[in-house]
Structure 1
Amino acid sequence: MRQNRQQGNSHLHWHVAPLPPDVPYREQQFHALMGENGVLPWTLPQAIELADRLRAALSTLD
């Protein structure tokens, strides 16, 4: 029997989804997931730059 290598490993992941301005808080989760609201076009260099910024910000947390 093959075991899942991730079985029993605790982990955390986030979904970072920029939203248009003025979206009420109660609608933010749903608005971000609704394809009819559009998709933000990102290039690979933009994604890498954002990942670097997030990594730097997270490294300052205790």
Structure 2
Amino acid sequence: MSMFKRYLHDAREDSGHADRGDVPGWVLITLMTAGLVALIWGLAGPRLADVFNSAIDSVTGG
């Protein structure tokens, strides 16, 4: 059996027995990240928009 076929065979046999990961942990990380982005966007969004508009105005001469 070639090395690749043996790898596929072993991967198929172990697929049901291996740890599938920490789903609640990933959900928590995702929700916390989304919350932080929303918080930062809410606090800094208007200021960042002003900075962006000022930069565009200085480039376009407006």
* Higher percent of residues as helix: 2
Specify which structure has the bigger relative contact order, considering alpha-carbon pairs within 8 angstroms and separated by 6 or more residues.
1
Q: Common fold, TM-score beyond 0.5?
A: no
Larger Rg: 2
TM superposition score normalised by structure 1: 0.31
